[in-house]
Amino acid sequence: MYQFSRAIYRDLSPLILEERLAFQRESNRELVLRACETTMERMVTDRRYFANPARSLFEDIRIYFSLSSQLRVYMVIKHHVDLALAFLERLPEESVYVNGMPRRCQAMTRKSKPCQRQPLPRSDYCPSHQHLVERLEELEELEGIPLAA
């Protein structure tokens, strides 16, 4: 995913404004790069609850660009995010994420801590929390709106 975040940054880097706010420690370029990397990381680890990563990234970094270049900024972001999503869809289901971190169940325990068990293949939940998968599918059928992307 490193390649996707760097591709966004490379395409947007000539458009980044140089002046920064007085209280801002990092340069605008550093902040844009960090936002791109954070978005790609979240796309890998939390796709279900990250419905529109292109819009989210654009909202995070648009203040670092002139008003006249914002349409181009959004189009660049949208293009690269769509490529990254297509790449993630083609990957086989494995026990680790693309970045090497082990997959974890998406449920919370009774003590309000994240479940540490590994989810079943083709699922976001471990065997103890499979009842949550059925619940999501029922809600999708009732509302006619897919919750999982």
Domain-wise residue ranges, the chain? 2-90
CB of 23 closer than 8 Å to CB of 72: no
Report the 3 state secondary structure along 6-69.
HHHHHHHHHHECCCCCCCCCCCHHHHHHHHHHHHHHHHHHCHHHCCCHHHHHHHHHHHHECHHH
Is residue 23 exposed (0-12), middle (13-18) or buried (19+ Cβ within 10 Å)?
exposed
Q: How high is the mean pLDDT of the chain? A: 80
Tell me which range, 34-43, 67-76, 107-116, is most confidently predicted by mean pLDDT.
67-76
Q: What is the pTM of this model?
A: 0.65
Band of residue 79 on the pLDDT scale cut at 50, 70, 90: very high
Residues in the chain: 149
pLDDT at position 123: 74
Q: Which residues contact 45 (CB under 8 A, 6 or more apart)?
A: 97, 99, 101
Which tens digit of pLDDT belongs to each residue from 80-95?
Answer: 999 998 888 776 665 5
Residue of 1, 4, 33 whose CA lies nearest to 16: 33
**pLDDT for res 107:** 80
23 Rama sector, left if φ>0, alpha if ψ -120 to 50, beta otherwise: alpha
Q: How far apart are CA 137 and CA 129, in angstroms?
A: 14
Number of H helices, E strands in the chain: 5, 0
- pLDDT value, residue 115: 84
Position 36 scores a pLDDT of: 93
Q: What is the mean pLDDT of residues 103-116?
A: 81
The whole-number pLDDT of residue 46 equals: 75
Q: Which pLDDT tens digit goes with each residue over 18-46? A: 887 777 788 889 999 999 999 988 888 77
pLDDT given at position 41: 87
Q: What is the pLDDT of residue 11?
A: 93
